[in-house]
Amino acid sequence: MDGPWRGMQEGDDDKRRPHGHAGEIAYAAIRDRLLRDEWPAGTRLLEADLAALTGVSRTPVRDALRRLSNEGFLDYVANAGCRVKAFTAKDVEAAFDLRVELESYAARRAASRAGTAQIAALSALCDRMEEIAADPEGEPRSRDQLTPLNQSFHAVIVEAADNPRLAPFLANVTSAPVVLRTYRSYTAEEIARSMGHHRELIQALQAGDADWAGAVMRSHIHAGYRAALRDTGLFGAVAENTQD
Amino acid sequence: MDGPWRGMQEGDDDKRRPHGHAGEIAYAAIRDRLLRDEWPAGTRLLEADLAALTGVSRTPVRDALRRLSNEGFLDYVANAGCRVKAFTAKDVEAAFDLRVELESYAARRAASRAGTAQIAALSALCDRMEEIAADPEGEPRSRDQLTPLNQSFHAVIVEAADNPRLAPFLANVTSAPVVLRTYRSYTAEEIARSMGHHRELIQALQAGDADWAGAVMRSHIHAGYRAALRDTGLFGAVAENTQD
DNA sequence: CACGGCCATATTGTACACAATCGTACGGGA
DNA sequence: TCCCGTACGATTGTGTACAATATGGCCGTG
């Protein structure tokens, strides 16, 4: 702890980091734990601890914390560090509301802009998802396989919307833990409906019908909101007992 | 360069800074110059120069640059510093599109939530703005007086919308220089129409009519977009000749 | 016993030093 | 003459030391 040691002592390989990626490492590591709910809401995160945890110094850790608080994961108070944000039912509503507006906008725009290649990509993603959903094996795991495919599906539509500011915005609003885990709380029926929405969306885009596409997307996100709401009681409770 | 000098040598008062605000100082200073178009699009910003300019060290300057690039003012490339973003017509469209969606959403929400105090505040702001607009004196300056009042007006509506994620989002999309300067390029007729929109908005909110409020806001922002478009040729040109 | 001020400590904010990386100019070779 | 490899300078990324601030416990006082 005293000399100019090679500052590595915790979980990491000693292969030389390619300079310019320590910040990414810290960011990814912390974000990952946040997504896994490793720390209960309200937990204070110390820069020094995180530095030791991720194997980099405080400087990139600070960068990561600023980013994460900007993305809504953390509450940051000047000169007092940051705490894991307590998600209330209201926050969940806020996030989904914004998603409804922005994603339905994306769908409307995409209706007049999506190319055949993008339509094909969406179709392929639907095929994969339906295949996985139909598989009666591995029930819990299929949910986790569905999630990234679903994200890709939405990403293609956002890309087709062709608004350079949109993607980063949506990334911020969809990165909330609650949003990311929606597929896990879906019932079998809700999953089937979600697949249906995807197919309908593709048809609307092919038809170039902006209103249709926007409306389907609106329903689609609303359905997700209802599912997420069922879990919110949990968050409210957690938020309360760790008020501190 | 050897001893623990008080690191002050450029434009600054030597009154002690209250620790925890150097970052803010750097951020405000750089953002201010960006808004004044002090640097043409494409200009590379060196951390060391900005540090000397603002009188703080590189560390808070880096924080400020990260924030500003997150807000869309700068393009940031790893290991290569950052450049002043070249705004294209497409970027302007993207920003206004997002504003239309988010602010009309805010207006819809506000219709069923705005309290009498907020309505009164909006009215007072309208009074002030109309007063200034009616004054035949100080033509160019009146525009600059209108802008902050207009921002306050929109801020009140966003606050009334009561979505905790909304305000930071909109701050990001409205902070683009083009958006901030719209009032300057308004014709007298457009200013009058803008005032009319504000009054109509208040009525819609009082009536609790979400559709009405949303529609008025949509027109309101669209009108601003048209005005901003008239200036975009300029930006395109600047963006091109500084490609580097 | 409660309350308020004070001190010790833990933690963040800032500055600076060094290491890694990128762009560029220069020189050698085809 | 043109191209490619190399070395150098300029600039960013990271680690670390120090300064400033907040927090919590302690003591004194009402």
Determine the average pLDDT of the residues in B43-59: 97
pLDDT tens by residue, A154-189? 999 999 999 999 998 898 888 776 777 778 888 889
> How many Å from the CA of A219 to C1' of D24?
51
Calculate how close chain B gets to A125, using CA atoms only, in Å. 27
* Per-residue burial over B216-229, b = 16 or more CB atoms within 10 Å of its CB, e = otherwise: bbbebbebbbebbe
Fold of B22-84: Arc Repressor Mutant, subunit A (1.10.10)
> Considering only CA atoms, which of B86, B90, B72 is closest in space to residue B228?
B90
* Residue A88, token pair as written in the block: 């209330």
> How many Å from the CA of B211 to C1' of C16?
57
Q: Does B97 sit within 8 Å of A101, measured CB to CB?
A: no
Residue type, B155: A
pLDDT tens by residue, B20-47? 789 999 999 999 999 888 999 999 999 9
| pLDDT given for residue B138 in this prediction | 63
- The domain ranges of chain A are 22-84, 89-241
Confidence check: pLDDT of B149 > 60:
yes
Domain at B89-241: CATH architecture: Up-down Bundle (1.20)
Partners of residue B103 in chain A, C-beta under 8 Å:
none
The structure's pTM equals: 0.85
Q: Does A94 touch chain B (CB under 8 A)?
A: yes
The answer to whether the Cα torsion of A55, A59, A62, A64 is positive or negative is negative
> How many Å from the CA of A215 to C1' of C4?
62
Which residue's CA is nearest to the C1' of nucleotide D21? A79
Cα three-residue angle A229-A234-A238, rounded to 5 degrees: 135
Give residues lining strand C (CB < 7 Å).
A 16, 18-20, 44-48, 58-59, 62, 78-82; B 1-2, 5, 7, 19-23, 56-60, 63, 79-80
Q: Which residue has the tokens 């509301």?
A: A97
In the three-class reduction of DSSP (H, G, I as helix; E, B as strand; rest coil), residue B227 is classed as helix
pLDDT tens by residue, A21-50? 899 999 999 999 998 889 999 999 999 999
